[in-house]
Structure 1
């Protein structure tokens, strides 16, 4: 149990990848507080786009845990998937950036002062930071920003490691809402489970990754490594 006894805060932990991370960290002996807009009975309500909400929620989590060792930023939205940029409203673009980028920045800003020496921040990005499909411009831009802020924070935040995980399609309620059940149940491409990504996060959060910082872990079954050369 490489995170036994660690004090862990997870945003977006009410469902999907965040919920899988919370379950895994708890199973591995960590003490976990979840922040979400729709929290469970033992969680903390927070809107990651609102600085006052983030600050208050982090203060509550720190009071419960007595400090922080690991912070996992899973809160995210996809936006209007499949909609061309020319048909996407400024409000929809702003929402994606606010949750996926500003939310992670605010999380880092307000948790860093409470993180122990050698602590770890892990953000959820996406393979969409590196590859794209039509109708995903705001989402891709936001996840590319998460990769960049990961590297910037790894340089700026002394004594803390900062990394991000960039998975390909994951079977979550959000993905099913975007793509439909049939697209995932009968997919002709590999689909990860939330638990797969949780293990990736756990590895980067643990002391076994103490030499890794500023890294974007691309978990896409090797698809992005393929050449267009017809061989």
Structure 2
């Protein structure tokens, strides 16, 4: 059972020219799980521009090669299936020593409770909970001093809604998982980024209704805007670059969990 690591993205969706670039990744090895997604692509580009050597991971080698062609520095492509422990173990053996790992893994299983299928539920948990747990299991011994893991949770854990039961549960489980891993893997740091409504391209399927939907979200959010992929990248770099931050969920939701 292969698990995609992020919602599908359009190949022709433009990538912003200006990305948030940290000053601390020179010579560091960064593993990006989900490097074929839009957020993963932008993260890889910004990290590469900051001097990081990249490992680009995910289930689709074609998307990973596409991302590798967009970055400015060294990038190694290593496919991995988060639903398969053997694949993760083999991935760990190929990765070797590294400084930071970021996973944007997500495979939503949305819909009314009565319509949910076990396989979809299992795929959602593999991407958000079991996969990150196994990544930590197989890769924790390979993290350099002051290294970290950063995973992606989501606002649904704090604002559950009908037809979003699995999404809320997996995101909530991940939030507690990073706390447990931060204690067990110390001094390796483990954190999560929790996006709200972010215009990554996942809402493009709404077609003509997308603009109205995003306007409604912006009007309701305390920040009075929706998020951008650049907001997420800044949060990831903060988690990577902050040696006194661990076991923490960084909410990048414009206050959406409060509205």
Category of TM-score, reference length = shorter chain = 0.7 to 0.9
Partner of 2:42: 20
- Which one of 57, 82, 87 corresponds to residue 53 of structure 1? 87
TM-score, normalisation: structure 1: 0.87
Is there any run of 5+ residues in structure 1 with no aligned partner, and where? 227-231
The size of the alignment, in residue pairs, is: 216
Does 1:164 pair with 2:192?
yes
Residues 120 and 205, structure 1, Cα contact 8 Å, conserved in 2: yes
Does 1:222 pair with 2:244?
no
Partner of 1:155: 183
Does 1:5 pair with 2:27?
yes
**Partners in 2 of 1:221 and 1:105 — Cα distance?**
28
Residues 8 and 71, structure 1, Cα contact 8 Å, conserved in 2: yes
Report the CA distance shift for 1:55/1:194 in structure 2 as closer, same or farther (over 3 A). same
Q: Whose RCO is larger (CA < 8 A, sep 6+)?
A: 1
After TM superposition, give the deviation of residue 224 of structure 1 in Å.
Answer: 2.6
- Which one of 219, 225, 230 corresponds to residue 195 of structure 1? 230
Q: Cα RMSD (Å) of the superposition?
A: 1.6
- Which one of 184, 197, 209 corresponds to residue 210 of structure 2? 184
TM-score, normalisation: structure 2: 0.78
Does 1:72 pair with 2:105?
no
Q: Deviations over 1:167-198 (max 9, x none)?
A: 10122344435xx2334333222332222201
Report the CA distance shift for 1:102/1:175 in structure 2 as closer, same or farther (over 3 A). farther
Report the CA distance shift for 1:86/1:74 in structure 2 as closer, same or farther (over 3 A). same
Partner of 1:117: 145
Residues 13 and 75, structure 1, Cα contact 8 Å, conserved in 2: no
Instruction: Classify the secondary structure of the residue corresponding to 1:43.
Output: strand
Report the CA distance shift for 1:14/1:140 in structure 2 as closer, same or farther (over 3 A). same
Q: Compare 106-115 and 89-98 and name the one that shifted more.
A: 89-98
After TM superposition, give the deviation of residue 94 of structure 1 in Å.
Answer: 1.4
Is there any run of 5+ residues in structure 2 with no aligned partner, and where? 1-22, 66-75, 218-224
